[in-house]
Chains A and B, each alone.
Chain A
Amino acid sequence: MTASTHQSPSVTASTVEEISEGLGEPDWLTEIRLEAFEAHDELPQPEVIHTPGRRWTNLDDVDPAALADPDQSASAKDRIEADGAEVLAWAEAVDQHPEVIEEHFGSVVDPQRDSFTALSTALFSAGTLVYVPSGQAAEDVTIRTSMGARSLFNYTLVVAEESASVTVLERQSSAATDATDRYYSGVVEAVAGENASIEYGTLQNLDSDTTALGVKAGEADRHGTIDWFEGNLGGGLVKASVETTLAGDGSETRIVGAFFGHDDQHVDVASRVDHEAEHTTADLVTRGVLDDRARSVYEGVQNVGREAWDTSSFQRENTLMLSDTSEADASPKLIINNHDTEASHSATVGQVDSEDLFYMTSRSIPDQAARDMLVEGFFEPVLDEVTLDELREDIRALIADRLETR
């Protein structure tokens, strides 16, 4: 079964043209959308981990075209600007910075990367440009998306020019709708120019009826830095990919992730860094907790290219399971094509340590409260790496809420 077999008759090339026209987009951008729309049918689904006889995330039943709602107006989006940055809704961005969009749109995430991304490229209406001109510093740009429609196709382009810096906090949550089956797709492209810095934190807390697919990718130029924090607490089926290409000498990235799956959630998290230049550094850290019948799949790739001399690249992933019926798979991969590399990768899956638990209960703390403290503590080393204070506190609060409702 492919996406096309269930394609909604309400979504056509005309829909794409209407969206593009409504946003005042130039012809070249309309063309990219139309080409993506035409191609999405033939393109493969997003890649998932395959091992002999097993595909670890099943996307067969996900049919974004069938769920595509041409009217995405029921979703709300707040954009909070910060000094030093322009944070523009897509129509404004198209109007005010056409040259920035033309230079960078689709430069990091191929619009035809896979069928889902192509459809998202064709149909997104809730776009945002975060533009930080050369030498400017902007903190606490906030983008809040409240999904009130059956589907939402989201797009964000972050451009930090030479010696600019920006921190962006993005939140996605659900508003009440009648739809019981929903689809969220988000594409984020981040471009860090020479000596520029981008920190991008996401907190996805969509409701459990929502299938959420997201691709975030960044490219860092010489001495540029891109740091991602990817927090996934909501959604039903979640597939989140976060990638950085270290294209310039001395560029750096951190990809920090946290997820907490419960009920029947399936969380597929993929982190990837491509070292393409010299003296580049990457640190990939993810921690996840699974409860009930939740399941996680983690794939982390550190790809050290032939020209990537003097690379430092580290990866750790740890999953804690709170129930016997949860399941976790982890696949950290290290591909080294340059011997001048310092690198490590590891992954662990385990349950709450019985000695830790006994230690705490022996100090009067009841069993459940002790488990909750251990879970909160498990996340702390990752949260400590989150430089966005507000995001860190929000995630702590959501984790506490999740534990309280167990």
Chain B
Amino acid sequence: MATLELSNLHAKVAEDGGEQILDGVDLEVGSGEIHALMGPNGSGKSTTAKVIAGHPAYEVTDGEVNLHLDGDEFEDLEVDEADLHWNLLDLEPNERAALGIFLGFQYPAEIEGVTMVNFLRTALNAKLDERAELFEDEDEDAEADEDDAGYETSPMEGPVDEGEVGVEEFQAILSEKMEQLDMDESFANRYLNAGFSGGEKKQNEVLQAAILEPEIAVLDEIDSGLDIDRLQDVSNGIEALRDEQGTGVLQITHYQRILDYVEPDHVHVMLDGQIVKSGGPELAEKLEDRGYDWVRDEVYEAA
């Protein structure tokens, strides 16, 4: 269980005179919840996603992004209370990911020369390693160093080498997840996203989330460029994340379409770098029917 909490988040493009994009975002996403973040182009949806994940192109000028983990999850691992609350803004992108933040990209990078299987296994092991370091107790570590003559240990994962997912074990995990998502196994040995269709890339993003088992998945327009069959596959994958892994999902989208398949618990409307309206699934339907102008009118009239 985890909660992602954005408080008064302000961010700008990280360059001199860079444009201010986020202007005080407040949002809370908990495990097992599905939140839809909607809004017109340029309203700050994607920036919100990238800032949560730690994209270096943006600079946070005010506010906080906190991740609260549930102690029950770490019952047997003697994790300190202090290690259950993280200010993500203090962490590197890979550390945020290791704590359970997953960003599903609108335009995933195409990385030539790195096969899917190699990338995903490396990512999974890196997550296990990084978590071990993040939750490492210094005293325990010192004792372990003495005991094991430098052997790196972790209160979460045990010895790092022992905790590593081997090639065969990983292949089995990958095959199972790919089958669930109706992906052809040949994808595993292709270069990461290189030459993938738009739909295949999005499916691949969901596959990665399924393997990395995040606490919170921020999916940036994961529905764009999908035909109806692929939309169904991707939606099934998102539901599985929530239902089987308890992942909290922040679903960024322009359209109602994906919300027909993955019904959100909460819908938020973003305008000009702020969340200006929140509601239930009916809000998404209203937006689909009437667009965003009425929200804008409401906000400005209220102001």
Interface of A with B (CB < 8 Å)?
353-356, 358-367, 369-370, 373-374, 376-381
Contacts and interface: CB of A to CB of B under 8 A. Distances in A.
A356 to B, nearest CB: 5
Interface stretch (B103-111, B152-160, B267-275): B103-111
Contacts of B108: 359
B27 interface: no
B212 A376 contact: no
B94 A378 contact: no
Contact of B122 (A355, A359, A369, A379): A369
A374 B111 contact: yes
Contacts of B111: 356, 359-360, 374, 377
Residue from A356, A361, A369, A381 whose CB has the most chain B CB atoms within 10 Å: A361
A380 B113 CA distance: 5
Contacts of A354: 56-57
Contacts of B97: 361-364
Given A373-B114, A377-B114, A364 B126 contact: yes
Given A364-B97, A364-B98, A364-B212, A359 B105 contact: yes
Interface of B: 53-57, 92-94, 96-98, 102-103, 105, 108-109, 111-114, 118-119, 122-124, 126-127, 130, 191, 208, 212
A363 B113 contact: no
A380 B55 CA distance: 27
15 contacts: A358-B109, A360-B111, A361-B93, A361-B94, A362-B53, A362-B93, A364-B123, A364-B126, A364-B212, A365-B94, A365-B126, A366-B130, A376-B113, A377-B112, A377-B113
A356 B97 CA distance: 16
A364 B122 CA distance: 9
A381 B103 CA distance: 28
B103 A365 contact: no
The 5 lowest CB-CB distance pairs between A and B, nearest first, are A377-B113, A380-B113, A364-B127, A359-B109, A377-B114
Nearest to A379: B113
Nearest to A363: B123
A364 B56 CA distance: 15
Contact of A365 (B55, B112, B113, B122): B122
A365 B94 CA distance: 6
Contact of B112 (A362, A369, A380): A380
Contacts of B93: 358, 361-362
A174 B113 CA distance: 30
Contacts of A366: 92, 94, 126, 130
A291 to B, nearest CB: 17
Most A CB within 10 A of own CB, among B97, B102, B112, B123: B123
Contacts of B123: 360, 363-365
B108 to A, nearest CB: 7
A362 B104 CA distance: 9
A52 B105 CA distance: 47
A366 B93 CA distance: 8
A295 B84 CA distance: 48
Contact of A362 (B54, B57, B122): B54
B256 to A, nearest CB: 27
B72 to A, nearest CB: 23
Contacts of A370: 94
A381 B109 CA distance: 17
Contact of B109 (A353, A367, A380): A353
Nearest to B109: A359
A161 to B, nearest CB: 38
B56 A381 contact: no
A376 B122 CA distance: 14
Nearest to B127: A364
Contacts of B94: 361-367, 370
A381 B126 contact: no
